Protein backbone atom coordinates (compact mmCIF):
# COMPACT_ATOMS: atom_id res chain seq x y z
CA UNK A 1 0.00 0.00 0.00
CA UNK A 2 2.87 2.35 0.85
CA UNK A 3 4.47 1.51 -2.52
CA UNK A 4 1.21 2.30 -4.37
CA UNK A 5 0.80 5.53 -2.42
CA UNK A 6 4.27 6.66 -3.46
CA UNK A 7 3.55 5.78 -7.08
CA UNK A 8 0.25 7.67 -6.94
CA UNK A 9 1.95 10.71 -5.45
CA UNK A 10 4.61 10.66 -8.16
CA UNK A 11 1.94 10.23 -10.84
CA UNK A 12 0.02 13.31 -9.63
CA UNK A 13 3.29 15.25 -9.44
CA UNK A 14 4.12 14.21 -13.03
CA UNK A 15 0.71 15.41 -14.20
CA UNK A 16 1.31 18.79 -12.63
CA UNK A 17 4.77 18.93 -14.16
CA UNK A 18 3.30 18.09 -17.55
CA UNK A 19 0.89 21.05 -17.44
CA UNK A 20 3.80 23.41 -16.62
CA UNK A 21 6.34 22.12 -19.15
CA UNK A 22 4.41 23.28 -22.23
CA UNK A 23 2.23 26.04 -20.85
CA UNK A 24 1.03 28.48 -23.54
CA UNK A 25 2.37 26.14 -26.26
CA UNK A 26 0.38 25.61 -29.44
CA UNK A 27 -1.54 22.34 -29.90
CA UNK A 28 -0.33 20.29 -32.86
CA UNK A 29 -1.89 17.23 -34.51
CA UNK A 30 0.46 15.21 -36.73
CA UNK A 31 -1.56 13.40 -39.40
CA UNK A 32 0.84 10.60 -40.41
CA UNK A 33 0.75 6.97 -39.26
CA UNK A 34 4.50 6.28 -39.55
CA UNK A 35 5.72 9.30 -37.59
CA UNK A 36 7.85 8.81 -34.44
CA UNK A 37 5.61 10.69 -31.99
CA UNK A 38 7.88 10.02 -29.00
CA UNK A 39 10.72 11.75 -30.82
CA UNK A 40 8.53 14.77 -31.55
CA UNK A 41 7.22 15.00 -27.99
CA UNK A 42 10.74 15.17 -26.65
CA UNK A 43 12.10 17.65 -29.20
CA UNK A 44 9.21 20.02 -29.89
CA UNK A 45 9.49 22.07 -26.72
CA UNK A 46 7.10 24.76 -27.97
CA UNK A 47 4.23 22.43 -28.98
CA UNK A 48 1.73 20.08 -27.37
CA UNK A 49 1.10 16.92 -29.41
CA UNK A 50 -2.66 16.24 -29.30
CA UNK A 51 -4.46 13.07 -30.29
CA UNK A 52 -7.14 14.50 -32.65
CA UNK A 53 -7.20 17.24 -35.26
CA UNK A 54 -10.30 18.85 -33.68
CA UNK A 55 -8.19 19.90 -30.65
CA UNK A 56 -5.31 21.26 -32.73
CA UNK A 57 -4.23 24.83 -33.39
CA UNK A 58 -2.12 23.45 -36.22
CA UNK A 59 -2.99 20.33 -38.23
CA UNK A 60 0.11 18.92 -40.02
CA UNK A 61 -0.95 16.77 -42.97
CA UNK A 62 1.79 14.51 -44.39
CA UNK A 63 1.86 13.22 -47.97
CA UNK A 64 4.61 11.12 -49.54
CA UNK A 65 5.83 10.41 -53.08
CA UNK A 66 8.66 8.23 -54.37
CA UNK A 67 11.64 10.11 -55.81
CA UNK A 68 13.88 9.12 -58.71
CA UNK A 69 16.64 8.18 -56.24
CA UNK A 70 14.32 5.57 -54.64
CA UNK A 71 13.92 7.84 -51.63
CA UNK A 72 10.83 9.86 -50.69
CA UNK A 73 9.62 13.42 -51.01
CA UNK A 74 7.51 14.39 -48.01
CA UNK A 75 5.08 17.29 -48.31
CA UNK A 76 3.88 18.81 -45.04
CA UNK A 77 0.75 20.97 -45.17
CA UNK A 78 0.36 23.16 -42.09
CA UNK A 79 -3.32 24.00 -41.60
CA UNK A 80 -4.23 26.65 -39.02
CA UNK A 81 -7.23 25.92 -36.79
CA UNK A 82 -8.76 27.32 -33.57
CA UNK A 83 -6.21 30.07 -32.70
CA UNK A 84 -5.00 30.40 -36.31
CA UNK A 85 -8.01 30.16 -38.66
CA UNK A 86 -7.19 30.66 -42.31
CA UNK A 87 -3.42 30.30 -41.92
CA UNK A 88 -1.88 27.69 -44.20
CA UNK A 89 1.60 26.77 -45.40
CA UNK A 90 3.36 23.97 -47.31
CA UNK A 91 6.93 22.71 -46.88
CA UNK A 92 8.83 19.77 -48.40
CA UNK A 93 11.83 17.69 -47.48
CA UNK A 94 13.59 14.73 -49.08
CA UNK A 95 14.73 11.43 -47.58
CA UNK A 96 17.39 9.45 -49.42
CA UNK A 97 17.40 5.66 -49.69
CA UNK A 98 20.68 5.53 -47.75
CA UNK A 99 19.56 7.82 -44.90
CA UNK A 100 19.57 6.29 -41.43
CA UNK A 101 16.50 6.35 -39.22
CA UNK A 102 18.11 9.05 -37.09
CA UNK A 103 18.82 11.20 -40.15
CA UNK A 104 15.23 10.79 -41.38
CA UNK A 105 13.87 11.89 -37.99
CA UNK A 106 16.15 14.92 -37.91
CA UNK A 107 14.98 16.05 -41.36
CA UNK A 108 11.35 15.63 -40.31
CA UNK A 109 11.89 17.55 -37.05
CA UNK A 110 13.68 20.40 -38.79
CA UNK A 111 10.89 20.80 -41.35
CA UNK A 112 8.15 20.69 -38.70
CA UNK A 113 9.96 23.32 -36.63
CA UNK A 114 10.34 25.58 -39.68
CA UNK A 115 6.64 25.23 -40.50
CA UNK A 116 5.51 25.93 -36.94
CA UNK A 117 7.63 29.06 -36.48
CA UNK A 118 5.06 31.14 -38.36
CA UNK A 119 2.40 30.09 -35.85
CA UNK A 120 4.58 30.27 -32.74
CA UNK A 121 5.55 33.84 -33.74
CA UNK A 122 2.00 34.90 -32.85
CA UNK A 123 2.18 33.46 -29.30
CA UNK A 124 3.91 34.59 -26.06
CA UNK A 125 6.55 31.89 -26.67
CA UNK A 126 7.95 33.88 -29.62
CA UNK A 127 10.29 35.81 -27.30
CA UNK A 128 12.09 32.56 -26.40
CA UNK A 129 12.72 31.42 -30.00
CA UNK A 130 16.28 31.64 -31.37
CA UNK A 131 17.12 31.25 -35.08
CA UNK A 132 20.56 30.28 -36.44
CA UNK A 133 21.98 29.42 -39.87
CA UNK A 134 24.86 27.09 -40.80
CA UNK A 135 26.09 27.40 -44.40
CA UNK A 136 28.42 25.03 -46.25
CA UNK A 137 31.60 26.88 -47.29
CA UNK A 138 34.70 26.06 -49.29
CA UNK A 139 38.32 26.85 -48.40
CA UNK A 140 37.79 30.47 -49.48
CA UNK A 141 34.76 30.90 -47.28
CA UNK A 142 32.28 30.87 -50.18
CA UNK A 143 28.96 29.01 -50.08
CA UNK A 144 29.06 25.71 -51.98
CA UNK A 145 26.33 23.48 -53.38
CA UNK A 146 26.18 19.70 -53.47
CA UNK A 147 27.05 18.09 -56.83
CA UNK A 148 25.40 14.83 -57.95
CA UNK A 149 28.31 12.71 -59.23
CA UNK A 150 25.85 10.00 -60.38
CA UNK A 151 23.92 12.40 -62.66
CA UNK A 152 20.54 11.23 -61.27
CA UNK A 153 21.21 7.51 -61.91
CA UNK A 154 20.15 5.11 -59.15
CA UNK A 155 21.02 1.40 -58.99
CA UNK A 156 19.51 -1.24 -56.73
CA UNK A 157 20.33 -4.88 -55.98
CA UNK A 158 17.90 -6.85 -53.85
CA UNK A 159 18.29 -10.46 -52.66
CA UNK A 160 15.82 -12.21 -50.36
CA UNK A 161 15.60 -15.74 -48.99
CA UNK A 162 13.05 -17.43 -46.77
CA UNK A 163 13.20 -20.81 -45.08
CA UNK A 164 10.84 -22.38 -42.58
CA UNK A 165 9.79 -25.89 -41.72
CA UNK A 166 9.10 -28.65 -39.24
CA UNK A 167 9.22 -32.44 -39.33
CA UNK A 168 6.59 -32.85 -42.05
CA UNK A 169 6.76 -29.57 -44.00
CA UNK A 170 9.45 -27.33 -45.46
CA UNK A 171 9.21 -24.07 -47.42
CA UNK A 172 12.02 -22.40 -49.37
CA UNK A 173 11.86 -19.09 -51.22
CA UNK A 174 14.52 -17.13 -53.12
CA UNK A 175 14.04 -13.77 -54.84
CA UNK A 176 16.45 -11.48 -56.61
CA UNK A 177 16.18 -8.17 -58.43
CA UNK A 178 18.53 -5.73 -60.19
CA UNK A 179 17.38 -2.28 -61.32
CA UNK A 180 18.74 0.97 -62.72
CA UNK A 181 16.84 4.18 -63.22
CA UNK A 182 17.12 7.88 -63.89
CA UNK A 183 14.43 10.43 -63.05
CA UNK A 184 14.38 14.13 -63.94
CA UNK A 185 11.55 16.63 -64.38
CA UNK A 186 11.41 15.90 -68.11
CA UNK A 187 12.27 12.19 -68.34
CA UNK A 188 11.80 8.98 -66.35
CA UNK A 189 13.63 5.78 -67.28
CA UNK A 190 13.94 2.44 -65.51
CA UNK A 191 15.17 -1.07 -66.30
CA UNK A 192 14.40 -4.06 -64.08
CA UNK A 193 15.55 -7.70 -64.08
CA UNK A 194 14.53 -10.30 -61.51
CA UNK A 195 13.19 -13.72 -60.66
CA UNK A 196 11.88 -15.97 -57.90
CA UNK A 197 12.04 -19.65 -56.87
CA UNK A 198 9.52 -21.24 -54.50
CA UNK A 199 9.67 -24.81 -53.20
CA UNK A 200 7.31 -26.57 -50.77
CA UNK A 201 7.76 -30.09 -49.38
CA UNK A 202 5.05 -32.04 -47.55
CA UNK A 203 5.64 -35.43 -45.92
CA UNK A 204 2.66 -37.70 -45.31
CA UNK A 205 3.20 -41.25 -44.04
CA UNK A 206 5.88 -42.67 -46.39
CA UNK A 207 5.44 -40.25 -49.30
CA UNK A 208 6.69 -36.73 -50.00
CA UNK A 209 4.92 -34.16 -52.16
CA UNK A 210 7.11 -31.44 -53.67
CA UNK A 211 5.77 -28.27 -55.29
CA UNK A 212 8.07 -25.91 -57.24
CA UNK A 213 7.14 -22.65 -59.00
CA UNK A 214 9.52 -20.29 -60.79
CA UNK A 215 9.28 -16.92 -62.51
CA UNK A 216 11.69 -14.53 -64.27
CA UNK A 217 11.07 -11.07 -65.64
CA UNK A 218 12.64 -8.18 -67.51
CA UNK A 219 11.03 -4.78 -67.99
CA UNK A 220 12.00 -1.29 -69.00
CA UNK A 221 10.10 1.91 -69.62
CA UNK A 222 10.70 5.48 -70.78
CA UNK A 223 8.33 8.35 -69.90
CA UNK A 224 8.45 11.90 -71.30
CA UNK A 225 6.80 14.89 -69.59
CA UNK A 226 4.98 16.85 -72.30
CA UNK A 227 3.22 19.55 -70.24
CA UNK A 228 1.59 20.24 -66.86
CA UNK A 229 -1.10 17.68 -67.73
CA UNK A 230 0.21 15.36 -70.49
CA UNK A 231 2.81 12.55 -70.46
CA UNK A 232 3.94 10.01 -73.06
CA UNK A 233 5.54 6.62 -72.35
CA UNK A 234 6.61 3.24 -73.73
CA UNK A 235 7.08 -0.13 -72.00
CA UNK A 236 9.10 -3.16 -73.13
CA UNK A 237 9.13 -6.46 -71.24
CA UNK A 238 9.72 -10.19 -71.12
CA UNK A 239 8.33 -12.61 -68.56
CA UNK A 240 8.02 -16.32 -67.75
CA UNK A 241 6.00 -18.16 -65.09
CA UNK A 242 5.35 -21.82 -64.39
CA UNK A 243 2.18 -20.83 -62.47
CA UNK A 244 0.81 -18.92 -65.46
CA UNK A 245 1.85 -21.61 -68.04
CA UNK A 246 4.11 -19.05 -69.76
CA UNK A 247 7.47 -20.17 -71.17
CA UNK A 248 8.18 -16.66 -72.44
CA UNK A 249 6.04 -13.58 -73.02
CA UNK A 250 7.43 -10.49 -74.73
CA UNK A 251 5.56 -7.21 -75.07
CA UNK A 252 5.90 -3.66 -76.34
CA UNK A 253 3.33 -1.09 -75.19
CA UNK A 254 3.29 2.67 -75.86
CA UNK A 255 0.88 4.82 -73.88
CA UNK A 256 -0.32 8.34 -73.08
CA UNK A 257 -1.56 9.91 -69.84
CA UNK A 258 -3.61 12.98 -68.97
CA UNK A 259 -3.81 14.35 -65.42
CA UNK A 260 -6.83 16.63 -64.91
CA UNK A 261 -4.88 18.41 -62.15
CA UNK A 262 -1.37 19.80 -62.69
CA UNK A 263 1.34 17.29 -61.78
CA UNK A 264 2.71 19.85 -59.31
CA UNK A 265 -0.38 19.15 -57.12
CA UNK A 266 0.11 15.37 -57.15
CA UNK A 267 1.01 15.32 -53.44
CA UNK A 268 -2.58 16.28 -52.54
CA UNK A 269 -4.77 15.39 -55.54
CA UNK A 270 -4.58 13.43 -58.78
CA UNK A 271 -7.09 12.41 -61.41
CA UNK A 272 -5.25 10.54 -64.16
CA UNK A 273 -6.45 8.89 -67.37
CA UNK A 274 -4.08 6.39 -69.06
CA UNK A 275 -4.42 4.69 -72.43
CA UNK A 276 -2.00 2.00 -73.65
CA UNK A 277 -2.00 -0.24 -76.72
CA UNK A 278 0.60 -2.82 -77.70
CA UNK A 279 1.46 -6.32 -78.79
CA UNK A 280 2.27 -9.49 -76.83
CA UNK A 281 3.96 -12.64 -78.10
CA UNK A 282 3.19 -15.68 -75.91
CA UNK A 283 5.01 -19.01 -75.96
CA UNK A 284 3.16 -21.44 -73.68
CA UNK A 285 4.65 -24.27 -71.61
CA UNK A 286 1.62 -26.50 -72.38
CA UNK A 287 -1.05 -26.32 -75.05
CA UNK A 288 -3.82 -23.99 -73.90
CA UNK A 289 -7.59 -24.51 -73.72
CA UNK A 290 -7.73 -22.67 -77.06
CA UNK A 291 -5.32 -25.22 -78.62
CA UNK A 292 -2.45 -22.73 -78.82
CA UNK A 293 1.22 -23.32 -78.12
CA UNK A 294 2.20 -19.79 -79.20
CA UNK A 295 0.40 -16.70 -80.47
CA UNK A 296 0.72 -12.94 -81.04
CA UNK A 297 -1.96 -10.73 -79.47
CA UNK A 298 -2.82 -7.03 -79.67
CA UNK A 299 -4.14 -5.61 -76.38
CA UNK A 300 -5.40 -2.21 -75.22
CA UNK A 301 -5.78 -0.88 -71.67
CA UNK A 302 -7.46 2.15 -70.11
CA UNK A 303 -7.14 3.29 -66.51
CA UNK A 304 -8.67 6.02 -64.34
CA UNK A 305 -6.97 6.85 -61.02
CA UNK A 306 -8.23 9.27 -58.36
CA UNK A 307 -6.13 10.24 -55.33
CA UNK A 308 -7.21 12.83 -52.73
CA UNK A 309 -5.35 13.62 -49.50
CA UNK A 310 -7.27 16.14 -47.40
CA UNK A 311 -7.68 17.10 -43.71
CA UNK A 312 -10.92 15.11 -43.54
CA UNK A 313 -9.14 11.93 -44.65
CA UNK A 314 -7.92 10.42 -47.89
CA UNK A 315 -9.23 8.40 -50.79
CA UNK A 316 -7.60 6.54 -53.66
CA UNK A 317 -9.42 4.53 -56.29
CA UNK A 318 -8.47 2.96 -59.61
CA UNK A 319 -10.66 1.71 -62.42
CA UNK A 320 -8.93 -0.20 -65.21
CA UNK A 321 -10.08 -2.29 -68.13
CA UNK A 322 -8.33 -4.20 -70.91
CA UNK A 323 -9.24 -6.37 -73.87
CA UNK A 324 -7.61 -8.26 -76.75
CA UNK A 325 -8.36 -6.67 -80.10
CA UNK A 326 -9.00 -9.94 -81.97
CA UNK A 327 -11.89 -10.78 -79.59
CA UNK A 328 -13.45 -8.07 -77.40
CA UNK A 329 -15.08 -10.74 -75.21
CA UNK A 330 -11.57 -11.61 -73.93
CA UNK A 331 -11.37 -8.76 -71.44
CA UNK A 332 -10.75 -7.78 -67.85
CA UNK A 333 -12.30 -5.08 -65.66
CA UNK A 334 -11.12 -4.09 -62.18
CA UNK A 335 -12.08 -1.47 -59.62
CA UNK A 336 -10.17 -1.00 -56.38
CA UNK A 337 -9.93 1.65 -53.72
CA UNK A 338 -9.05 2.79 -50.23
CA UNK A 339 -11.00 5.30 -48.14
CA UNK A 340 -10.19 6.75 -44.72
CA UNK A 341 -12.57 9.30 -43.18
CA UNK A 342 -12.23 11.25 -39.93
CA UNK A 343 -15.86 11.05 -38.75
CA UNK A 344 -15.90 12.82 -35.38
CA UNK A 345 -13.38 13.56 -32.65
CA UNK A 346 -11.23 10.46 -32.30
CA UNK A 347 -13.33 8.25 -34.63
CA UNK A 348 -12.18 7.25 -38.12
CA UNK A 349 -13.58 4.85 -40.71
CA UNK A 350 -11.26 2.79 -42.95
CA UNK A 351 -12.51 0.98 -46.05
CA UNK A 352 -10.63 -0.89 -48.76
CA UNK A 353 -11.59 -3.39 -51.42
CA UNK A 354 -11.40 -4.50 -55.02
CA UNK A 355 -13.39 -6.46 -57.56
CA UNK A 356 -12.13 -7.85 -60.87
CA UNK A 357 -14.12 -9.45 -63.66
CA UNK A 358 -11.81 -11.91 -65.44
CA UNK A 359 -12.49 -13.06 -69.02
CA UNK A 360 -8.99 -13.06 -70.53
CA UNK A 361 -7.24 -16.21 -69.24
CA UNK A 362 -5.84 -17.28 -72.61
CA UNK A 363 -2.85 -19.13 -71.11
CA UNK A 364 -4.81 -21.78 -69.15
CA UNK A 365 -3.40 -25.26 -70.00
CA UNK A 366 -5.59 -27.74 -71.85
CA UNK A 367 -4.73 -30.63 -69.51
CA UNK A 368 -7.02 -31.23 -66.54
CA UNK A 369 -6.12 -30.08 -63.04
CA UNK A 370 -5.79 -32.65 -60.24
CA UNK A 371 -6.51 -32.16 -56.54
CA UNK A 372 -2.84 -31.91 -55.65
CA UNK A 373 -2.31 -28.97 -58.04
CA UNK A 374 -5.39 -27.18 -56.66
CA UNK A 375 -4.37 -27.55 -53.01
CA UNK A 376 -0.73 -26.58 -53.68
CA UNK A 377 -1.73 -23.67 -55.97
CA UNK A 378 0.73 -25.03 -58.49
CA UNK A 379 -0.91 -23.38 -61.48
CA UNK A 380 -3.56 -20.82 -62.35
CA UNK A 381 -7.19 -21.96 -62.25
CA UNK A 382 -10.08 -20.79 -64.42
CA UNK A 383 -12.22 -18.09 -62.82
CA UNK A 384 -14.61 -15.31 -63.79
CA UNK A 385 -13.96 -12.95 -60.89
CA UNK A 386 -11.72 -12.04 -57.94
CA UNK A 387 -12.59 -9.84 -54.96
CA UNK A 388 -11.25 -8.44 -51.71
CA UNK A 389 -12.80 -6.29 -48.98
CA UNK A 390 -11.97 -4.79 -45.60
CA UNK A 391 -13.73 -2.42 -43.17
CA UNK A 392 -12.51 -1.09 -39.85
CA UNK A 393 -13.08 1.60 -37.23
CA UNK A 394 -10.63 3.34 -34.93
CA UNK A 395 -11.79 5.30 -31.86
CA UNK A 396 -9.52 7.12 -29.44
CA UNK A 397 -10.68 9.00 -26.34
CA UNK A 398 -9.26 10.42 -23.14
CA UNK A 399 -6.81 13.25 -22.52
CA UNK A 400 -6.20 15.40 -25.59
CA UNK A 401 -2.58 16.02 -24.51
CA UNK A 402 0.13 13.42 -24.87
CA UNK A 403 3.52 15.03 -24.26
CA UNK A 404 5.01 12.47 -21.86
CA UNK A 405 7.34 9.78 -23.20
CA UNK A 406 7.80 6.58 -21.17
CA UNK A 407 9.63 3.82 -23.06
CA UNK A 408 9.82 1.30 -20.20
CA UNK A 409 8.89 -2.25 -21.29
CA UNK A 410 8.39 -0.95 -24.82
CA UNK A 411 5.73 1.27 -26.35
pLDDT in tens, 330-373: 999 999 999 988 887 778 888 999 999 999 999 998 888 877 77
**DSSP calls for 255-270:** EEEEESS-GGGTTTEE
pLDDT (mean) for 216-241: 94
Of 93, 89, 90, 97, the C-alpha closest to 107 is 93
Q: Is the per-residue pLDDT at 201 higher than 60?
A: yes
Q: What is the DSSP letter of 114?
A: H
DSSP 358-394: E---TT-BSSPPPHHHHHTT-S----SEEEEEEEEEE
- What does pTM read for this prediction? 0.69
**Per-position b or e across 300-316, b if 16+ CB within 10 A of its CB:** bbebebebebeeebbbb
pLDDT grade for 36, boundaries at 50, 70 and 90: confident
The answer, yes or no, to whether residue 391 has pLDDT greater than 50, is yes
CB 149 within 8 A of CB 69: no
Arithmetic mean of pLDDT over the chain:
84
User: CA–CA distance from 131 to each of 81, 125, 126, 128, 134 (Å)?
Assistant: 25, 14, 11, 10, 10
For the cut 70, the answer to whether the pLDDT of residue 409 exceeds it is no
Task: Give the CATH number of domain 2-128.
Answer: 3.40.50
* C-alpha to C-alpha distance for 171 and 165, rounded to whole angstroms: 6
**Taking 50 as the threshold, does the pLDDT of residue 19 lie above it?**
no
Q: What is the pLDDT of residue 21?
A: 42
With cut-offs at 50, 70 and 90, classify the pLDDT of residue 252: very high
Q: What is the mean pLDDT of residues 244-273?
A: 91
149 confidence band (pLDDT: 50, 70, 90): confident
| pLDDT at res. 41 | 81
Parallel/antiparallel/unpaired status of strands 246-259 and 269-284? antiparallel
Domain 153-395 CATH assignment equals 2.30.230: no
Question: What pLDDT is stored for residue 63 in this prediction?
Answer: 83
Identify the pLDDT of residue 16. Answer: 43
Domain borders along the chain are: 2-128, 153-395
CB-based contacts of 255-260 (< 8 A; 24+ apart in sequence): 255/301, 256/230, 256/231, 256/232, 257/230, 257/231, 257/232, 257/233, 258/229, 258/230, 259/229, 259/230, 259/231, 260/229
Task: Give the pLDDT score at 404.
Answer: 57
Pick from 157, 199, 203, 211: nearest CA to 174: 199
What per-residue confidence (pLDDT) applies to 241? 94
At 226 the pLDDT is 93
List beta partners, residue 83.
Answer: none
Q: Are 234 and 222 in contact (CB under 8 A)?
A: yes
Q: In percent, how much of the chain has pLDDT > 90?
A: 41
Structure-model confidence comparison of residues 152 and 242, the more confident one: 242
Residue range 61-95, pLDDT digits in tens: 888 888 776 778 888 899 998 889 889 888 988 88
Best mean pLDDT range from 38-52, 127-141, 164-178: 164-178
Tell me: pLDDT of 211 over 80: yes
- Residue 299 CB neighbour total at 10 angstroms: 20
Task: Please give the share of the chain, as a percent, with pLDDT higher than 70.
Answer: 87
Rounded to whole angstroms, the Cα distance separating 77 from 248 reads 47
Q: Of the ranges 62-66, 102-106, 116-120, which is most confident? A: 116-120
Amino acid sequence: MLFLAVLSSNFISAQSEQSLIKNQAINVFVDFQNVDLNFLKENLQFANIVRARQYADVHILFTRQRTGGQGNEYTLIFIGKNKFPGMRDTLRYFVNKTDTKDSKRDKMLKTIKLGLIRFVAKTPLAKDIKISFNAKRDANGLNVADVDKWNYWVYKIKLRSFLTGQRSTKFINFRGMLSAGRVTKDWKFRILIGGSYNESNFKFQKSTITNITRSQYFSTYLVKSLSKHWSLGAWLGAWSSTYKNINIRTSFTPGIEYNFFPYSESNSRQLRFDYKIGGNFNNYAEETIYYKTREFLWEQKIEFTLVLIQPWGNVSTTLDASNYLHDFSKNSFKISGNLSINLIKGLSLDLSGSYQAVHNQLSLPLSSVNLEEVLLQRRELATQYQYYGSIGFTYTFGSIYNNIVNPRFGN
